[in-house]
């Protein structure tokens, strides 16, 4: 299935859960960011993901912190604009790695495993430095 057909199927509700993997999540975020401001793209992205999961009886799959963190990384890396999705992926292969290494490098496992992180976006925390307040 090509990217446009995949996006159409996602939006019209005909895309199956098995056909919506990590690459497709990144494609959706990238597409929204090409069309909207960061804030609006983020709201649409998260609302669409929640709706997709809920419609398939999997509301617990949505994770606000992971979703917003990926959206932010994608936004940061598309600041220059003008790239196709294929060129974006070629330049940013870490965003497609299994296990979410790009986001997991920003957070400890305890934070990502928390119910709070599933419900609301939590900013990454820098480790406290010796002597800092």
Q: What is the pLDDT of residues 53-94, one digit of tens each?
A: 999 999 899 999 999 999 999 999 998 777 899 999 999 999
Domain coordinates in residue numbering, the chain: 3-119
Kindly give, in sequence order, each residue whose CB lies less than 8 Å from that of residue 51, ignoring residues fewer than 6 positions away.
none
pTM: 0.87
Q: What is the mean pLDDT of the chain?
A: 89
Q: Is the dihedral of CA 80, 86, 92, 97 positive or negative?
A: positive
Is residue 130's pLDDT more than 70?
no
Whole-angstrom Cα distance, residue 116 to residue 77?
Answer: 27
Q: Residue 85 burial by CB count (10 A; 0-12/13-18/19+): exposed, middle or buried?
A: middle
How much is the pLDDT for 131?
A: 56
Closest residue by Cα to residue 92 from 62, 70, 67? 70
| pLDDT above 90 coverage of the chain, percent | 71
- Displacement of CA 23 from its chain's centroid (Å): 10
């Amino acid at each position: 299935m090509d990217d446009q057909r995949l996006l159409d199927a996602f939006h019209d509700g005909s895309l199956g859960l098995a056909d919506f993997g990590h690459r497709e999540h990144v494609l959706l975020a990238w597409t929204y960011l090409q069309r909207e401001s960061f804030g609006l793209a983020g709201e649409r992205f998260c609302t669409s993901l929640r709706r997709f999961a809920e419609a398939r009886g999997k509301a617990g799959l949505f994770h606000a912190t992971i979703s917003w963190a990926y959206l932010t990384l994608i936004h940061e890396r598309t600041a220059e604009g003008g790239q196709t999705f294929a060129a974006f992926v070629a330049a940013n292969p870490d965003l497609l790695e299994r296990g979410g290494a790009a986001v997991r490098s920003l957070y400890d496992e305890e934070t990502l495993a928390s119910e709070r992180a599933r419900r609301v976006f939590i900013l990454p925390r820098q480790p406290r430095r010796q002597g800092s307040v």
